[in-house]
Amino acid sequence: MKYFLLLVLAGAACCRLPAQAFRATAVSARLVQQARSGTLVQADADSLAQVSLAELIKALPNDRHKKAFWLNLYNAYAQRNLVAADLATDEARLKAFNEKNILVANEKLSLNEIEHSLLRKGSSVLGGLLFGGGTLGKGKPARSKPSEIEKVLAVDTLDARIHFALNFCAVSCPPVRVYTPDNLEATLALAASVYIKQECRYYPQTVEALVPKLFDWYAADFGGEHVIAQMLKSASIVPARHNPRLRYKDWIWRYQKGKYAE
């Protein structure tokens, strides 16, 4: 009888299905879709909150996965959590963007930590302007040392095109798109192209280009004004032989929720 029980237990162990791997980017994409429809599948939010850091590391093995995951997560929770009052003043923006209300792998993150610590690799200066001052008012991540998640899940290489993908419910923000590891390159390229062509204007009489304020805030991410000018030439906004002076449009902070790409 004992031998029979041992055989049964051994057979059960052999037939046991392995635990399903956590599909981080798929969960983040669904959260964007749920934010768009005004719904929430609690199982997705719970799985994101409860996944172990080790499992999340396995699910995000490279920058393609990390960028898709963090971009989706930022946009989903910005659309879900931000309200008009959060964008009304510098002080309100500083508080809202630093609020730790996004639970990932049992760690609470803020929008600022996702953007500046995880997607921008801990950058803290925007073209000479420190976070939390002037017209930006989005604030610096409220911590003095890297979180455990940042240590292991920040991108390895900063990709300035994230600035054409992040939407924090202001009129001047680019539209929200859903990112996956497979579509990341093409979708970021599309997001950049559409935003630049819609938001940039060239005035040949004065050899000036009017560009969004984010090119000023994140000039270092883009590689400086000469690289930005080259981007305008590549987009056929500025003639190849011209060297324009850049002028920056005021950022329109007026609240606009639900700005999704078709």
Print pLDDT tens along the chain (262 aa): 544 444 444 444 444 434 568 899 999 999 999 999 999 899 999 999 999 999 999 999 999 999 999 999 999 999 999 999 999 999 999 999 999 999 999 999 999 999 999 999 876 544 333 343 444 545 444 445 778 899 999 999 999 999 999 999 999 999 999 999 999 999 999 999 999 999 999 999 999 999 999 999 999 999 999 999 999 999 999 999 999 999 999 999 999 999 999 7
- Residue 212 · residue 200 · CB < 8 Å: yes
Domain layout of the chain by residue ranges: 17-248
Q: How far is CA 204 from CA 149, 194, 233, in A?
A: 47, 22, 13
Distance of CA 35 to the CA centre of its chain: 15
- Residue 28 · residue 76 · CB < 8 Å: yes
pTM: 0.87
CA dihedral 175, 151, 124, 200 (to 10 degrees): -20
DSSP annotation of 211 reads E
CA atoms within 13 Å, Cβ hemisphere of 43: 4
